[in-house]
Amino acid sequence: MDSTKDKLVSIIVPVYNVEKFIVETMECVRAQSYDNWELLLVEDVSTDGTKEVIETYLHEKPDERIHLICQPENKGAAHARNRGLKEAAGRFIAYLDADDLWEPLKLEKQLAFMEERQAAFSFTGYEFADEEGKGLGKIVQVPATINYKEALKNTTIFTTTVMFDTDKIEKNMLNMPIIKSEDTALWWKVLRNGYIAYGLNENLVKYRRAGKSLSSNKLEAVRRIWNLYRKAEGMSIFSSAYHFCFWAVRAVRRRI
């Protein structure tokens, strides 16, 4: 894979109170075998030392590919990701949560996969990890493709694994809805517009479970997904309940 300008990957990271993890996250991007990227760290007015940790890191290890973007006020992950999208210069848009990790070949393999499939939207497999970033052996396998109807019953698509090609999908479509579980709402919006998500069934991401507020509050997760069905998708109570049953079973299976 050559490193031409039209294959620049813009990596969008919403950053909030992750002083413990952010250096390791930056390092996993710098360790990528594919080096034609920009890392957009959208700092969402952290109340810990996250901003200072990033500034110190960039002073000690300057890298012109890494950009610290500071929000004027805390507005949450959806606004932060949309700010990153606005600033992004790359053809490809990739998402990375500030406490998750990529394997070194993640970008290289995913870009080659998208080129082979002529995909506008792709995602990969991933592994649950502990707070130290050590894999727990629980690997989530992903299907070859997911369409809109399938996605409503399957939340396999994980944010830190996603990549879009803005040569094939309009960049404005990638603005995340301002709603809880905005990432899932975006996947559904894109798929509803006729796109297919292509799954690269390789474990290229580590997902830290520790400290994930949504993961630690299962009732809140249920409320968010139900709200997406009812409000974002405008589904009836019956249809919402039908799809929710499939979502719940698959969500539990992934974590067992």
**Chain segment 185-204, per-residue pLDDT in tens:** 999 999 999 999 999 999 99
- What is this structure's pTM? 0.88
The more confident residue out of 170 and 231 is: 170
Question: Would you say 183 and 94 are in contact if contact means Cβ atoms under 8 Å apart?
Answer: no
pLDDT in tens, 33-42: 999 999 999 9
One-letter amino acid at 172 equals N
pLDDT band of 3, cuts 50, 70, 90: very low
Question: Given this model, what pLDDT does residue 4 score?
Answer: 52
Query: Is 230 inside any structural domain?
Result: no
Flag whether 217 is in a domain.
Answer: no
135 SS3 class: strand
Residue 218 within a domain? no
The boundaries of the domain holding residue 133 are 5-210
Q: Is residue 75 part of a domain?
A: yes
- Six-digit token string for 132: 């130290």
Q: Do residues 209 and 215 lie in contact, with contact meaning Cβ atoms separated by under 8 Å?
A: yes
Q: Does position 214 have pLDDT exceeding 50, yes or no? A: no
Can you give the pLDDT at residue 21? 97
Residue 253: pLDDT band with limits 50, 70, 90: low
Is the pLDDT at 233 greater than 80? The verdict is no
Write the Ramachandran bin of 214: left for phi over 0, alpha for psi from -120 to 50, otherwise beta: alpha
Count of domains forming the chain: 1
Report which of 242, 253, 247, 255 is spatially closest to residue 225, judged by C-alpha positions: 247
Run of H or E including 67: strand 66-70
Residue 72 in any domain: the answer is: yes
Query: Does residue 202 belong to any structural domain of this protein?
Result: yes
> Does 82 reside within a domain?
yes
Q: Indicate whether 247 belongs to any domain.
A: no
The CATH number covering residue 49 comes to 3.90.550.10
Helix (H, G, I), strand (E, B) or coil at 145: strand
The share of the chain scoring above pLDDT 70, in percent, equals 90
- Whether residue 101 contacts residue 133, with contact meaning beta carbons closer than 8 Å, is answered with yes
CB of 229 closer than 8 Å to CB of 181: no
pLDDT, one tens digit per residue, over 97-154 is 999 999 999 999 999 999 999 999 999 999 999 999 999 999 999 999 999 999 998 7
Give the pLDDT of residue 216: 45
- What value does the mean pLDDT of the chain take? 90
